[in-house]
Amino acid sequence: ETGVTQSPTHLIKTRGQQVTLRCSSQSGHNTVSWYQQALGQGPQFIFQYYREEENGRGNFPPRFSGLQFPNYSSELNVNALELDDSALYLCASTQEFNNEQFFGPGTRLTVL
Amino acid sequence: KQEVTQIPAALSVPEGENLVLNCSFTDSAIYNLQWFRQDPGKGLTSLLLIQSSQREQTSGRLNASLDKSSGRSTLYIAASQPGDSATYLCAGAFSGGYQKVTFGTGTKLQVIP
């Protein structure tokens, strides 16, 4: 167990809809990162939050947005869903003394 | 642009064999490198983390090395077991304002009883 939880486990949406995915980091981990993992690929970095501020972003359009809250929870929001958004979405919290990342179990999003 | 590559994409070995998984990266300004295991449809389990100042890390039957000058890391698994069957991913954290982590595409390992 990594102490990082994600909800929901699975989600089915239709094209054009909006979705919110949730993550609860380990207590004391001020950095949370979100990744998208397509089938058979390595995770792709979406963005990173540190103390409720976005401090880094990968090559994802603005319809991917996030929030981080003081209680170590965070959200990934995706607007105007496209078929290619179907993937496993992973969040990871970072242990600050050595920068080790701990991942949650992921949310499997299917867009029809 | 940082790139992380893992070769081979898939590997099948008999139980008990020692094996090496390879990871290469293009940016020598690496902050750390982390090896993960992923079971089908699941999240990532951290195996070993090597800081840029270190050469290797060991945990049980696993040993990971890091050579910044050649842009390579290896994960050595001793006495492989069927339970080791999974996809192994390496991820490099590179300096630059924030720690951007770049993953390889993984090596799918099958250990045959």
pLDDT the model gives residue B28: 79
- β-bridge pairing B86-94 and B100-103: antiparallel
Per-residue pLDDT, averaged over B3-19, amounts to 95
Per-residue pLDDT tens digits of chain A, which is 112 residues long? 678 999 999 999 999 999 999 999 988 888 999 999 999 899 999 999 999 999 889 999 999 999 999 989 999 999 999 999 999 999 999 988 888 899 999 999 999 9
Q: Provide DSSP, chain B.
A: ---EEEE-SEEEEETT--EEEEEEES-S-EEEEEEEEE-TTS-EEEEEEEETT-SEEEETTEEEEEETTTTEEEEEE-S--GGG-EEEEEEEEE-SSS-EEEE---EEEEEE-
Q: What is the DSSP letter of A40?
A: T
d(CA B77, CA A57): 34
Query: CB neighbours of A74 closer than 8 A, spacing ≥ 6?
Result: A22, A23, A24, A25, A32, A34, A49, A66, A67, A68, A91
Residue pairs spanning A and B at CB distance below 8 A: 68
Q: Which residues of A touch B (CB under 8 A)?
A: 2, 4, 6, 33, 35, 40-45, 48, 50, 55-56, 58, 88, 90, 92, 94, 98-106, 108
Element (H, E) at A108: strand A107-111
The nearest alpha carbon in chain A to B90 belongs to A42
Residue B75 contacts A, CB cutoff 8 Å: no
pLDDT at A37: 95
Contacts of B50 by beta carbon, 8 Å cutoff, 6+ apart: B32, B33, B34, B56, B57, B64, B65, B66, B73
Which residues on adjacent β-strands are paired with residue B10?
A: B108
| pLDDT value at residue A6 | 96
Q: Which two tokens stand for residue A43?
A: 């995770």
Tell if the CB–CB gap between B41 and A108 is shorter than 8 Å.
yes
In angstroms, the CA A50 to CA A86 distance is: 26
For chain A, state the CA radius of gyration. Answer: 13
SS3 A11: strand
Distances A5 to A2, A23, A76, A102, B69 between C-alpha atoms, Å: 8, 6, 14, 10, 37
Does residue B111 register a pLDDT over 90?
Answer: yes
Q: Tens digits of per-residue pLDDT, B72-110? A: 999 999 999 999 999 999 999 987 656 678 999 999 999
CB-nearest partner of B44 from A40, A90, A108: A90
